[in-house]
Each structure stands twice: as structure tokens, then as C-alpha cells.
Chain A
Amino acid sequence: MAHDESEHHGHLKLEYQPGLPMSNGKLIVWLFLSTEIMFFAALIGTYIVIRFGAPAGSWPTPADVHLSEPIGAFNTFVLICSSVTIVLCLDAIHAHKAFLAKRWLIATFLLGGVFLGVKGYEYKQKFSHGIYPRKPRSLIHERANLEYAASVRSLLKEMRAGLDKKKADGELTHEEKEQLDNYTILLNGVVIPAEQVASDPDRSSAERQAALVHLAEYVNGSHGGHGHHDGSMEFPFAAGLQSEKSMLLVEQTQLKNQLKEKPQKEEPQEDPDGDTSSGSQTKTPLDPVQTRLNKIRDRLKGIDKLSSMEHSMNEDFKLHLPIVLPSGNMWASTYFLLTGFHAIHVLVGLIVFVIGILMKLGPEKAGFIENTGLYWHFVDLVWIFLFPLLYLF
């Protein structure tokens, strides 16, 4: 080697030494890994700032966002196994066992594929609950306010209109009929009354806020707070609903008696839309009383529907209504960003494995396998840090 690399400048004999005792490829891979460390440090740092900077108690719990720690642990285990198999592959190459090396490489590839598959399943779970990285698909609202109630109402109306159209065409199946009934009851008995209470200027602001918060709870259940993990929903507002129900029943009988006693008046009185005040009972013509009775009937149906729920509206009736998750959108953004970039890195690793599987492996390929292994171990390292940060904190 010295013979090739020395030069003769007259009487000087220069010999070039390698800068570092490793191949260029390995050096480059280590430099690349250091850039990747910076890349993921930036993303993880962002997540840490956002997550720990959120006001106390307002970050979604894993149960809120349907994050399953056992699945995360399984993924961690899969990646650790794949790290072991790639190292054993390198070992086999050094021991001149090319066939065994290829088998280990295929095992690593398969384990990486399992990881991606489980990740895809997790993503699907999030998407099915309306948790997307951004709007318009994301159904997460930050707080229970009038905008939230309005979006719940409009979505429910849309879904009902869809089924109504099918009904007009005469094509409803039995389940769809049931669904249509549910939509109507929920819309008229739960969502619209809540929205009306919330926008009623005559009520106290505590009542109005409570109506919105209750609506959010009915739609999504309260996983983190009062709900139990075995699925049964402890209804925190059951008492309130029951007392409302008894008040409404009393009012209903009153109004019905009123209807029977009063003679039918022909006054075409205009009833302004959205008039919820029940103060129009004393000298009322027929229409407002009947309207009020209709409203009471719808509300009672809604209360009964709610009381018969096991979990929440979204779960029991297979709806996809908007949900209220404080800091939920931030959570979704950071979660999908971190795991998405990590999944892309896993995918790149899998592509490199395919290239390795298609190659003829031998001792001359030890450098390639070693560098691939370095990259793959780095991907495993990132996941080792991501897993507790995202799932366990």
C-alpha cells in the first residue's frame, strides 16, 4: 500500500495515511446519522415543548386519543428483535456464512414490515375516530363552544339528509331505518336542545356552558375523567337528566290539559324560530303550545336515548361526530409528525434491505451490511426514545 500511495517529490517521500481507521462508507454513514440525530432532536424537542408547555391537565390522555400502550410496546419489541437480527446478519457475514446472513436479512426485513403494519393499524384506528393531523378531516375541537355544537348539528343533519334521500327513493334497509330514527332523535332531542340552551341569552352562563360540556361528553364519552376502562360509562349527568325529565313530564301533562280545555282558536300567530322560552303558556293560541309539546316530546325521546347509552354517541350509534379534546389538535399534529417521519425512515430501511436481499452476499459485502445495520440501529434508537415520549408520558 505504501508503495502505491507514496509520492516522490525529489528527496521527499510522502505517505498518505487514512484519516480515520474506517472505510469512507462507514464514515459517511456515521456523519449522516449525526445529521439524523439533529433532525429528530428538533422534532422531539418540539414535541417536548408543546406537550409540557400545555396548561396542566389539558393534554389528552392515551385513552382520549385511542392510543394503546401495549401496541406501542409490541412495536418496540419488534424493532428490538430486528436490531438483533441485523447484527446477527453482520456476524454471519464475518463468519463467511452467506446463506445464514441472507436469512437474517430477510428476517429483519419481515420484522420491519410487521412494525409498519402495526403502525398502519394504529393510524387506521386514529382515523376512524376522526383524529387526523389537520382539518378539514380532523374532527377535533379544542373546547366545547357554540361552534362545536353547530358543527355537531350540521354533521348530524347531513347524515340524516343522506338517509332521508334514500328513504325517499324507498331503498332503506332495516338497519338504515334504525339509524335514521337514531339520527332524528339525537338531533332533535340532544343536539339542538343543547345548542338552544347554550345560545339562550336568558340563561346563566354556567348553565349555558354546562349544556355544551354535557353535549361534548355525550358525543365522545369521558374516557380520561369519569369513564371506566372496562367500557361502562359512569354517567355523571344522569341525575341532571332525570330531574330534567321529571320536570318535562310535569310540563307535558300541564300543556296537554291546557290543550284539552282551551277551545281551538284560529289566530294565526307567528312563532319566531328558536323560541325556547316557555313563558307563552298563559294566553296562548294553539300553535306555540303544540310546538312546545313537540319539543318536549323530542327532548324526552332524546333523554331516554341518552340514558340507554352504554358508552357515548359516537361509539354506540357508530357516528363520526366532532369531538372535544383540549390540545387534541396539537397532540395529533405532533404524534403524526413524529411517528410519520419515523415510519418513513423505517420504509427507507426496508428498501435498503430489499437491495441487500437481491444482492449476492459475501465477505466483500460486509461493509454494506454494516452500514445498513448502523442505519437500522439508529432507527431503533429513535423509536426507543419516541415510545415513552408519545405513549407513556
Chain B
Amino acid sequence: MSEEQKKDEAHDQGEHGGGSVKQYIMVFVALCVLTSASFFTYSPYWPFQETPSVGWAFMMAVSCTKALLVMLFFMHLLWEANWKYVLTFPAAMMSVFLVLMLWPDGKMRTSNYSEQRRLHAAEPKDPGDAADEHHENHEPPHNGTEHGHRH
């Protein structure tokens, strides 16, 4: 039991010097503000209505900020020793790798579609496309990206 008591003391001295309740509440308020901010892309004041990718980048930035706040304050990493870098730095590298790895399969997937492949791809929802004349067969006509990006 004595060993445990000593460990508890080290525990108390080392970590309780960290977060105060006031800090936690401030982080909580910041998280709520950030969550509402992620809805800002939906408001009429959002200046980038035409380019949805800016909105996505903004939302990802908001999410990363929220994640950082939770990790630093709630998970106590701000007050931890240097081992936190052993954990976080490779994870951050892996997240960059993930994006790079998935970029060809994700964003660029439909750029090199053959006509045959495009025939079987999902179609945009606008029923105006169906009014166009298409070739005579039983397959529903494909629309591909003729009508541009429609998000």
C-alpha cells in the first residue's frame, strides 16, 4: 500500500497541477462555439457558396481544432511528458498519408472513366436530364459529368 500511496502523491503533484475547472469550462464553451461555427457554411453569409470544397476544408479545420482542444485539455496531453510526441507525431503523419493515399481513389476516381464504366455509374438526380434524347436501348441513358458538378 505504501508504494501506491507514493504513486498517488506523484500523480497528484504531477498532474493535478494541470487543468483547472475554469479551463475545462472555457474549453467546453470553445467547443460549443466551434460546433455552431461549422454550421456557418449553411448560412446565407457564407461567402463561398459556389465552391463547396472551401466549405469542406473549413469544416475539417473546425473539426481538427475541436479534436486538438479535446486532446490537449480533456485528455490532459498538454501537461504530459514528452512521450506524447511519440504517440501523436506518427498518428499525424499517418493522417497525412491517408489523405495522400486516398486522393487518387477518392477525388480523382471518375476522371478517367471509360464510356462503358460511366454507363453503369450512378446518375445525377436532376430529372431534367432524362428529357434529353439518348441512344436506343433498354439501358437507362448515362449522364456522366456532362452537366457539370452539382453538389
Contact = CB atoms under 8 A, between A and B. Distances in A.
Interface of A: 1, 20-23, 30, 34, 37-38, 41, 45, 48-49, 52-58, 64, 69, 73, 76-77, 80-81, 83-84, 86-88, 91, 94, 142-146, 204-206, 209-210, 212-214, 217, 222, 224-225, 236, 326-327, 363-364, 366-367, 370, 373-374, 377-378, 380-381, 384-385, 387-388, 392-393
Contact of B19 (A38, A86, A91, A392): A91
Contact of B59 (A81, A210, A374, A388): A388
Nearest to A56: B149
Contacts of B19: 87, 91
A144 B102 contact: no
Contact of A209 (B83, B125, B141): B141
Interface string B80-91: 010100010001
Contact of B102 (A48, A77, A214, A222): A48
A385 B38 contact: no
Among B11, B71, B127, B148, residue most surrounded by chain A Cβ atoms (within 10 Å): B127
B125 A55 contact: no
A49 B148 contact: no
Among B36, B63, B125, residue most surrounded by chain A Cβ atoms (within 10 Å): B125
Given A80-B28, A84-B24, A388-B62, A55 B144 contact: yes
Contacts of A45: 98, 101-102
Nearest to B150: A57
Nearest to B53: A52
B115 interface: no
Interface of B: 3-4, 6-8, 11-12, 14-16, 19, 21, 24-25, 27-28, 31-32, 35-36, 38-39, 41-42, 56, 59-60, 62-63, 66-67, 70-71, 73-76, 81, 83, 87, 91, 94-95, 98, 101-102, 105-107, 109-110, 118, 121-127, 130-138, 140-141, 144-145, 147-151
A20 to B, nearest CB: 5
A80 B59 contact: no
Contacts of B41: 392
B32 A384 contact: no
Given A213-B127, A363-B8, A388-B59, A87 B122 contact: no
A64 B118 CA distance: 23
A327 B24 contact: no
A373 B74 contact: yes
A374 B109 contact: no
Nearest to B16: A94
Given A53-B110, A88-B24, 13 more contacts: A49-B102, A52-B109, A55-B124, A57-B149, A69-B39, A84-B28, A94-B11, A205-B134, A214-B127, A367-B11, A388-B60, A392-B59, A393-B56
Contact of B70 (A52, A210, A236, A381): A381
B87 A48 contact: no
Contacts of A217: 127
Contacts of A209: 130, 134, 140-141
A384 B70 contact: yes
B131 A377 contact: no
Given A49-B102, A55-B122, A225 B127 contact: yes
A89 B106 CA distance: 42
Given A45-B102, A212-B140, A377 B75 contact: yes
B70 A380 contact: yes
A87 B74 contact: yes
B59 A222 contact: no
A349 B41 CA distance: 33
A142 to B, nearest CB: 6
A105 B72 CA distance: 21
B134 A206 contact: yes
Given A34-B87, A94-B12, A392-B38, A57 B126 contact: yes
B74 A377 contact: yes
Contacts of B149: 56-57
A381 B138 CA distance: 48
Given A56-B151, A143-B140, A91 B145 contact: no
A56 B35 contact: no
Contacts of B3: 1
Contacts of A381: 67, 70-71
Nearest to B129: A213
Among A236, A327, A381, residue most surrounded by chain B Cβ atoms (within 10 Å): A381
Nearest to A70: B39
A348 B42 CA distance: 34
Contacts of A30: 87
20 contacts: A23-B7, A45-B101, A48-B106, A49-B106, A56-B124, A57-B124, A57-B150, A69-B42, A73-B39, A80-B31, A88-B24, A143-B140, A146-B138, A217-B127, A326-B122, A327-B122, A366-B8, A377-B74, A380-B70, A393-B56
A1 B6 contact: yes
Contacts of B60: 388
